[in-house]
Amino acid sequence: QSDLTQPASVSGSPGQSITISCIGKTSDFGEYDYASWYQQHPGKAPKLMIYDVNTRPSGVSDRFSGSNSGNTASLTISGLQPEDEADYYCSSYANKTTVVFGGGTKVTVL
Amino acid sequence: QVQLQESGPGLVKSSETLSLSCHVSDYSIGRGYYWGWIRQPPGKGLEWIGYIHNRGATYYNPSLESRVDISKDTSNNQFSLKLSSVTAADTAIYYCARSLRHGYIVDLDSWGQGILVTVSS
């Protein structure tokens, strides 16, 4: 069972913005500031989309952005596109040396 | 760009030990970074298994720690996972991955393609 809680699904129409939340049981996000987000298409390995709460790796679209507040990290996808339909996972430190993933959120583009 | 490739048996009998290797190309694992294993049961979410640092330190998921061993073979540029006393609950796609930055373990930007391991009774 994950220590990070995500909604099971989020949907939106093309061009809209959606936000996926990731709630920790403690103030992990505020203490460590290390929330990461991964995108996973069916049958593919996860892809790092955001790290350090709001930093995009090279090559990731600026339509993806992250934020955090207290024990909640969030991923926002702006200008939703059909190729954004995928599963999204948040991740953070469970303590200074171990890692935890959220349960995942299925994003559907209507 | 670094490339990772998992290998090992796709079928393991219950109560036995699952053994996988991750061969790394275009980067020497002894030079730096954390190298990790993550798994995903069919149709379910990701689960972090553990990491090994290039200098040998290991960190494991507390829920698996008693059964997990991650090691590295610098001469063959690969690192390995052993999971003992497996049950059907260990059936999953197993991924190896590398962190984006030295010294961090939450930013995995290089992944293998994954290998499905099924535990049979």
pLDDT digits (tens, 9 = 90+) for B78-90: 999 999 999 999 9
Q: How many angstroms separate the CA atoms of B55 and A28, rounded?
A: 27
Asked if A71 and A84 touch (Cβ cutoff 8 Å), the reply is no
Tokens at residue A67, please?
Answer: 């934020």
pLDDT classification of B4: cutoffs 50, 70, 90: very high
Report A:65-94 residues touching B (Cβ under 8 A): 89, 91-93
pLDDT classification of A30: cutoffs 50, 70, 90: low
Mean pLDDT within A40-53:
96
Q: Which of B38, B61, B104 sits opposite A98 (nearest CB)?
A: B61
CB contact under 8 A, A46 and B100: no
Q: How many angstroms separate the CA atoms of B85 and A108, rounded?
A: 38
**B92 in contact with A at a CB cutoff of 8 Å?**
no
Report the chain B residue with the minimal C-alpha distance to residue A106: B45
Q: How many angstroms separate the CA atoms of A84 and A106, rounded?
A: 10
| Cβ within 8 Å of residue B89, ≥6 positions away | B41, B119
Q: Which of A34, A103, A104 sits opposite B106 (nearest CB)?
A: A34
* % of chain B at pLDDT higher than 90: 89
pLDDT classification of A29: cutoffs 50, 70, 90: low
CB contact under 8 A, A98 and B62: yes
Tell me what pLDDT residue B45 has. 96
Report the chain A residue with the minimal C-alpha distance to residue B47: A101
Mean pLDDT within A23-51:
84
pLDDT per residue over B24-77, tens digit each?
Answer: 999 999 898 999 999 999 999 999 999 999 888 999 999 999 999 999 999 999
Q: Which residues of B touch A66 (CB under 8 A)?
A: none
CA-based diameter of chain B, in Å? 41
**B111 in contact with A at a CB cutoff of 8 Å?**
yes
Q: How far lies B3's CA from each of A97, B7, B26, B50, in Å?
A: 25, 13, 7, 19
Query: Which amino acid is located at A18 in the chain?
Result: I
The DSSP secondary-structure symbol of A31 reads H
More confident position, A98 or B96: B96
Q: Which residues of A touch B48 (CB under 8 A)?
A: 91, 98-101
Tell me what pLDDT residue A95 has. 77
More confident position, A96 or B97: B97
Q: Tell me the backbone φ, ψ of residue B74, rounded to 5 degrees.
A: -65, -35
More confident position, A106 or A53: A106
Q: How many angstroms separate the CA atoms of B58 and A96, rounded?
A: 13
Q: What's the mean pLDDT when you consider all of chain A? A: 91
Residue pairs spanning A and B at CB distance below 8 A: 62
Mean pLDDT within A44-73:
94
